[in-house]
């Protein structure tokens, strides 16, 4: 039996959705899989797991600080297990900005965390204006405008390429 823990930092739900998708994909009778928010991770003993996957969303160019804190605290433990990291952001909707060597958030994360995950993936997230407050909506609209993305108020687009998520799952299986 392989015990897999998927930890996510998600605000609007897309990183959580991807985490749950990975969990479903990796579910086999001999696997035990748990998905948990970074907010609740203190409540479990992570050492009980053989594999740890961490997913984090980007907001205003940044990762949730709790992700860095978690990694700082558990770096050695993480290195002793099969581990992987995935980043969810809107920039990755663009071809050529959707892999760890071209999406700047991967380099930023590795530099700051000083943790080199065994596997790292970049997934495009979702833009859903109806979920954002006034300030965020205005900011995202502006960013979308300058990066030639959708600016319609009614936009609710999932940019996630699920085939890429499947490929990530396959890599983790091997």
Residues at the interface with ligand FMN (CB under 6 A): 10-15, 57-61, 88-91, 125-127, 132, 136, 140
Smallest distance, Å, CB 55 to ligand FMN? 8
- Residue 85 CB coordination number (10 Å): 26
Smallest distance, Å, CB 80 to ligand FMN? 28
Mapping DSSP to helix (H, G, I), strand (E, B) and coil, where does residue 83 land? strand
Please give the distance of CA 69 from its chain centroid, rounded to a whole number: 16
- Cβ proximity to ligand FMN: between 12 and 20 the closer is 12
Main-chain dihedrals φ then ψ at residue 124, nearest 5 degrees: -75, 145
Residue with smallest beta-carbon separation from ligand FMN: 125
- Cβ proximity to ligand FMN: between 130 and 174 the closer is 130
Smallest distance, Å, CB 142 to ligand FMN? 11
- Cβ proximity to ligand FMN: between 68 and 82 the closer is 68
Provide DSSP, 118-149: SEEEEEE-EEEGGGS-HHHHHHHHHHHHHTT-
Q: In 4-33, which positions are buried (b, 16+ CB within 10 angstroms) versus exposed (e)?
A: bbbbbbbebebbbbbbebbbebbeeeeeeb
Smallest distance, Å, CB 28 to ligand FMN? 26
- Cβ proximity to ligand FMN: between 8 and 49 the closer is 8
């Amino acid at each position: 039996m392989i015990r897999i823990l998927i930890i996510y930092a998600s605000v609007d739900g897309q990183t959580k959705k991807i985490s749950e998708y990975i969990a479903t994909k990796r579910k086999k009778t001999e696997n035990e899989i748990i998905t948990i928010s970074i907010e609740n991770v203190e409540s479990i003993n992570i050492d009980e797991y053989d594999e740890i996957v961490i997913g984090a969303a980007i907001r205003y160019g940044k990762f949730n600080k709790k992700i860095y804190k978690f990694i700082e605290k558990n770096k050695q433990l993480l290195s002793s297990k099969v581990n992987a990291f995935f980043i969810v952001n809107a920039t990755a909707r663009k071809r050529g900005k959707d892999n760890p060597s071209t999406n700047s958030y991967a380099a930023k994360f590795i530099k700051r965390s000083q943790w080199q995950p065994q596997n790292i993936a970049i997934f495009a997230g979702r833009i859903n204006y109806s979920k954002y407050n006034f300030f965020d909506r205005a900011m995202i609209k502006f960013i979308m405008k300058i990066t030639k993305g959708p600016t319609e108020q009614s936009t609710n687009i999932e940019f996630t390429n699920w085939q890429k998520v499947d490929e990530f799952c396959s890599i983790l299986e091997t």
